[in-house]
Chain A
């Protein structure tokens, strides 16, 4: 069997930008954060300066409960870089707060993946500076 697992150190890791540093700092503390527009309530993972829904400029970071469901996924067998261990399962998670993010499912077999399955966030170090958010299945609804 090939239980899906976090990638080992050595994969290409993100270079945080001035705008995203807050996200990565929170990730190292084990917190998943997102951006919320103070005007219209639009939320998204990306740290936006201008709300893409109402174009308002007043927004803030908020912390997610880290629970969501599997919106879409793939199982990769031919990675873009040799450092990635296959198979792995990049996915789109729809968080309960209502935003989408790219992640990867871990802690189950590729055959167990099913649309709508409940997922919970967990963080794993990809380097000394970067922790990546992964999602693993949780029981119940």
Chain B
């Protein structure tokens, strides 16, 4: 199986310090620090960059004096990485820098984070925000399949324990957590307790992608095996309805990401059983259960049982979100926490994780988004060029 993405390697990744608040930074400065860190990790001079993708693409071109240079102001995570890969395989660029960051975006603590509060006219009057939107999807799964709050709590405890053990996580050392600890935290939007939800923090990150020719003499390139993106429309604008679909024979909206996963596995020539580690996006505990089903790791309705018995924990058959994810590692808003799923996958495949390294990991899946936001993006990464 060949695919143009297989000619692209990730050769630099970096996370800045992640914290509840980063003094002296704004989103642009911490994103730039993330990008420069990724270039240093790659051993590539800023002057070699001929493409910048991400939140501050134009500002980065100016700041680093890169003009004339390709710039793609992509505000997402995995879609930004796939756009960077496409720039390389099309021949427009040889070295593409991606960066993102968030700081000073959420200091008004009487409100939930600004990116969680939709202003769309059909939802705003009902006090919806991300936790409530995702709860409407989770509830539907509980109604259809009997998924339990204990199973949701098992996911949250597992991921939060990953962060508890990660010295780089914002909530390092804040655990350990049992499912009962999750269930006894205060209710936010039933069935989600506080500890079922992503936190908010500040931080930046970056990645560097190059063509296979430029990656050839490096010791630890990580290869893009496949990737694709699914959307059912703008997030938080219409009712998040599990069964919504308009195309005959299509997956319903609750299964958003199923198509993206099928396309990704097809590009890679792999199957879910080939995956060693799953760096899944964890905005809310339930979304892990849903993704395990729609990505093909288990059948519909079996995700709740799948997460039990240590299956997704460190040392389990399919470790999930091993750095602590958005619940414990960091959630800086905009795209940083989305790119960090890709970055953690790269660290796992390089074998350089400071905590919860999956020994001998060769294939990683990572994801962004979730059913409550009506989009899910998927990537497969590998330590060997296919």
Asked whether A and B interact, the reply is yes
A residues sitting closer than 8 Å to B (CB atoms) are 7, 11-17, 20, 42, 45-46, 52-53, 71-82, 84, 88, 90-92, 100-104, 110, 115, 126, 130, 132
> When A and B form their complex, which 3 residue pairs have the shortest distance between CB atoms, in order from nearest?
A14-B121, A74-B135, A80-B129
B residues near A88, Cβ cutoff 8 Å: 126-127
Q: In whole angstroms, how far apart are the Cα atoms of A103 and B246 in the complex?
A: 22
Interface residues on B, range: 35 or more
Known: A72-B140, A101-B239. A7 touches B112 (CB 8 A): no
- Find residues 111-148 in chain B having any chain A CB closer than 8 Å to their own CB: 111-112, 116-117, 119-129, 131-132, 135-137, 139-140, 143
Q: Does B35 sit within 8 A of A, measured CB to CB? A: no
Contact with A along B134-165 (1 / 0, CB 8 A): 01110110010000000000000000000000
B residues near A20, Cβ cutoff 8 Å: 121-122
B residues near A130, Cβ cutoff 8 Å: 125
Contact with A along B275-300 (1 / 0, CB 8 A): 00000000000000000000000000
Could you tell me if A102 and B116 are in contact, using CB atoms closer than 8 angstroms? Answer: no
Q: In whole angstroms, how far apart are the Cα atoms of A84 and B132 in the complex?
A: 14
A-B contact count, CB below 8 Å?
Answer: 117
Could you tell me if A80 and B246 are in contact, using CB atoms closer than 8 angstroms? Answer: no
Measured CB to CB, the nearest residue on chain A to B125 is A132
Pairs across A and B, CB under 8 Å, 24 listed: A11-B125, A14-B124, A45-B239, A53-B246, A72-B143, A74-B131, A74-B135, A74-B136, A76-B188, A77-B186, A77-B189, A78-B188, A79-B112, A79-B129, A80-B111, A80-B117, A80-B129, A81-B127, A88-B126, A90-B126, A90-B127, A102-B128, A102-B238, A104-B127
Measured CB to CB, the nearest residue on chain A to B122 is A102
Q: Does B45 sit within 8 A of A, measured CB to CB? A: no
Selected contact of A90 from candidates B136, B186, B244, CB within 8 Å:
B136
**In the assembled complex, how far is the CB of residue B212 from the closest CB belonging to chain A, in whole angstroms?**
41
For the A-B complex with A74-B190, A76-B189, A115-B143 known, give 12 more contacts whose Cβ atoms are closer than 8 Å.
A72-B136, A73-B136, A74-B139, A76-B127, A76-B190, A77-B189, A77-B190, A78-B189, A88-B126, A92-B239, A92-B241, A132-B125
B residues near A72, Cβ cutoff 8 Å: 136-137, 139-140, 143, 241-242
Q: In whole angstroms, how far apart are the Cα atoms of A132 and B116 in the complex?
A: 21
Q: In whole angstroms, how far apart are the Cα atoms of A13 and B124 in the complex?
A: 6
